[in-house]
Amino acid sequence: MQIFQDKQSLIQALQEIKAAGKSIGFVPTMGALHDGHIALVRSALQITDQVVVSIFVNPTQFNTASDLDKYPRTLQADIALLQKEGDVFVFAPPVSEIYPEEDFFAPFDLEGIDLVMEGKFRPGHFQGVVHVVRNLFQIVQPQKAFFGLKDFQQVAVIRLMTKKLALPIEIVACAIERAPTGLALSSRNLRLSETQKEDALILFQTLELLKKLKKEFSPAVSQEKAIEFFKKGKLELEYLELVSSETLEALDQTWSESSTCCIAAFCGEVRLIDTAQL
């Protein structure tokens, strides 16, 4: 394993890999790694020759200073976890390496998919995501980049950005890793007490309920019943949306060929998201 903090030394090491005809797989993360991240790393190790994992808590995608401050940072433990996975390159840069002064980035037209759900409740979030991923892609220039479907809307945004910039990068979407209880793994779970982890199961339970509701009811009625069920739990709901998996348009009377539910809610002070294809 090699650890890089400055982009020039990473670029140089990657040039040698590319010159040897090897493919690069890239897994961008914000650290506080768990088995969800490790599943992405393993997928990358299976189908690319050299895997790069970035660990960078991106300030531009947080829309409140306290959320950024409280985001868990566990670099030494992250490195120890990655060491077990094999010969990966870890890129853990300071902010100045990712956002140099001569960084030209104008708000990117994401055709509205950045304005619904997460985008609606976290204004500017996806512009920050697109900015950091574009800059990271420029440095790493991978053939394949791996993202988790836990952040379903993020995958759609990154796919659109990659298409619009005509980048020769395949976006590989990986399944959600869950605890045996059903709780989706998340770095933010580190901030939950044991009781809160139990309270948070309402997210998964609601998604499971929706799979049943879909068989009997329209999206509008299913949404109403699912919200009613969710509100019996202890979390504070931000949104529960049923959307077309392709266009992210809200569903009303008819299900789309592939439909997805996305939920965001607060468990105490911790904001959690979960999603499932129905």
Residue ranges that bind ligand AMP, judged by CB under 6 A:
29-30, 36-37, 39-40, 147-148, 150-151, 174, 176-177, 184-187
Give the C-alpha separation, 239 to 261, whole Å: 10
34 an active-site residue? Answer: no
In the complex, the smallest distance separating the C-beta of residue 21 from ligand AMP, rounded to whole angstroms, is 27
In the bound state, the residue with its beta carbon closest to ligand AMP is: 148
For ligand AMP, give the closer residue by CB, 190 or 221: 190
The beta-strand segments (E) located in 71-214 are 89-91, 144-148, 170-174
For ligand AMP, give the closer residue by CB, 205 or 218: 205
For ligand AMP, give the closer residue by CB, 14 or 136: 136
Give the C-alpha separation, 228 to 130, whole Å: 34
Q: What is the dihedral of CA 212, 213, 215, 216, to 10 degrees?
A: 140
For residue 234, which amino acid is it?
K
In the complex, the smallest distance separating the C-beta of residue 34 from ligand AMP, rounded to whole angstroms, is 7
In the complex, the smallest distance separating the C-beta of residue 161 from ligand AMP, rounded to whole angstroms, is 14
The catalytically annotated residue of 34, 37, 125, 131 is 37
Give the C-alpha separation, 264 to 199, whole Å: 14
For ligand AMP, give the closer residue by CB, 155 or 250: 155
* Alpha helices (H) in 48-150, listed in sequence order: 65-70, 75-83, 95-98, 118-121, 125-140
- Cβ contact 27:48 at 8 Å: no
In the complex, the smallest distance separating the C-beta of residue 138 from ligand AMP, rounded to whole angstroms, is 18
* Residues forming the active site: 37
